[in-house]
Amino acid sequence: MINRITTQLSTVKNDIEKFYDKKVWHFLTLNGVKLDESTTEIQWIFSKYNNDDITMFYTNVKQDEIIPSITDILPSAIMSQREIVDMFGIEVEDSEKGLYLDEDSEQMPLSSCGI
């Protein structure tokens, strides 16, 4: 079962800091789903260490907003954040472009699928 919790861009860092305990919860990944022309849903997915419970924080983001970075709480989130910058074209703090794509390839490939 997936437990969905809604949040906002301005409060997501505080929510995750209050919720996360490093011996109980395990950070899985950061995900993006394109809902329509200008809105993307960003999800932060966690699961318990010896259980099948999944908790997901989600929020809707427009194309020109900046997502805050959570690498001071979770150092391993840097890889998923760089992937969101490459694939969707949305800016994230402290994450630079160029994980997968070069300058002369097609940019932001996932920003036009699923609509």
Q: Which is nearer to other proteins, 1 or 10 (CB)?
A: 1
| Contacts with other proteins, residue ranges (CB under 8 A) | 2, 22-23, 26-29, 31, 33-34, 45, 47, 49-52, 54, 74-76, 78-79, 87, 99-101, 109-110, 113-114
* Cβ 67 to other proteins shortest distance, Å: 17
Inter-residue contact 76 to 70 (CB < 8 Å): no
**Minimum distance, C-beta of residue 37 to other proteins, in the bound complex (Å):** 15
Across 73-97, b (16+ Cβ under 10 Å) vs e yields: ebeebbebbbbbbbbbbbebeebee
